[in-house]
Amino acid sequence: MNRLIKILLAAGVIFLIASCDEDEVIYNNGFRIIEYTPAPGQYINGKGAAGFNGEKSKEEAVEYANDRLSGGLWISLGGFGGYVVGMFDFPVENDGGYNISITGNAVKGSSEPGIVWVMEDKNGNNIPDDTWYRLRGSEESDEKITKDYAVTYFRPEQPSSPVAWSDNLGNSGSIDYLSAYHNQDFYYPEWIEADSYTLTGVCVAFTSYVDEYGNYMSEDFEWGYADNYSEIDRLASEPGKSVNLFKIDNAVDEDGNHINLDRINFVKIQTGVNAKSGWLGEVSTEISAVNDYNMVK
């Protein structure tokens, strides 16, 4: 769909389209998922709230994710490093203000921060094979972030078992199996054939705690993260949904240097913390929509 038609649609102008190409790709509000690789987590493979249906291939996983977003439903990215990649039907321009909106399900005291990456399709091949740049957030000090952090997850040998992991800093742990709430056989994605896989990214220090009433709570970051209860970049929430806004102008390279991008085509959202919240299990970013916010401003 060209830019003029998108603008007129946003303005309420109605078009009657006589025909379209049979191989035309259908976008959900101008965005579609092209890769879905979550970390293990309590919702992965679950046929209940998460709505899985026995997906066994990468293609089926992508179709699942697109179907969920088209219905306004969330997908989980699992533990640290789990990610989803999507593309817009037309470049999102950088005007210096907020350009992208991402809907999660954060509530105050229960954030599950996701890091957002952007890419311009410089070679014009509609494949995310150029350079990813991270959108910086409030937690940028050396004490707060670990760059090039990698976690390897191992397929459990038996069903109804935790998923063990180890990281590149010598730490190890597990994604707990929560049988009382999510009793699918495995939390390890069924469409990943290897017995282990490694996810790499930037990890942000994160705090979970028990409040005075005995409730497990999670830290809210100030700004710059998906599925995060921010007082700065969060739009008014509705039940079960919370929208965060992002500026392409906050793009940085791997050394944290500002990168000037005029536009972007691809977005990657990745669980940015490696943490648990007591009996609630792993902290996992959830999203239900990604939109070109320039079309709404």
- At 77-134, the pLDDT tens digits run 999 999 999 999 999 999 999 999 999 999 999 999 999 999 999 999 999 999 999 9
Residue 37, helix vs strand vs coil: strand
Other beta carbons within 10 angstroms of residue 58's beta carbon come to 15
* Residue 250 DSSP symbol: G
pLDDT at 239 over 90: no
Tokens of 225: 């993260």
* 8 has a pLDDT exceeding 90: no
Name the band, by pLDDT with cuts 50, 70 and 90, for residue 3: very low
Residue 247 has pLDDT above 70, yes or no: yes
Confidence grade of residue 244 (pLDDT, cut at 50, 70, 90): very high
In angstroms, rounded to a whole number, what is the distance separating the alpha carbons of residues 234 and 227? 9
H/E stretch holding 228 = none
What's the rounded Cα separation, in Å, for the pair 114 and 273?
A: 8
DSSP bridge partners of 165: 153, 173
Task: List beta partners, residue 102.
Answer: 244, 290
Tell me the two tokens of residue 154: 């191992």
* Pairwise CA distance, residues 247 & 120, whole Å: 14
How many residues in total does the chain contain? 297
Joined together, the tokens standing for residue 244 give 């965060």
Read off the DSSP letter of residue 258: B
Q: What is the pLDDT of residues 141-186, one digit of tens each?
A: 999 999 999 999 999 999 999 999 999 999 999 999 999 999 999 9
Q: Do residues 198 and 192 touch, judged by C-beta distance below 8 A?
A: no
Burial of 164 (0-12, 13-18, 19+ CB in 10 A): middle
| In the block, residue with structure tokens 């976008």 | 27
Do the Cβ atoms of 229 and 94 come closer than 8 Å?
no
* Domain ranges (residues) in the chain: 28-295
pTM over 0.75: yes
> Taking a C-beta distance cutoff of 8 angstroms, is the pair 100, 115 a contact?
no
Q: Give the separation between CA 285 and CA 238, rounded to whole angstroms.
A: 18
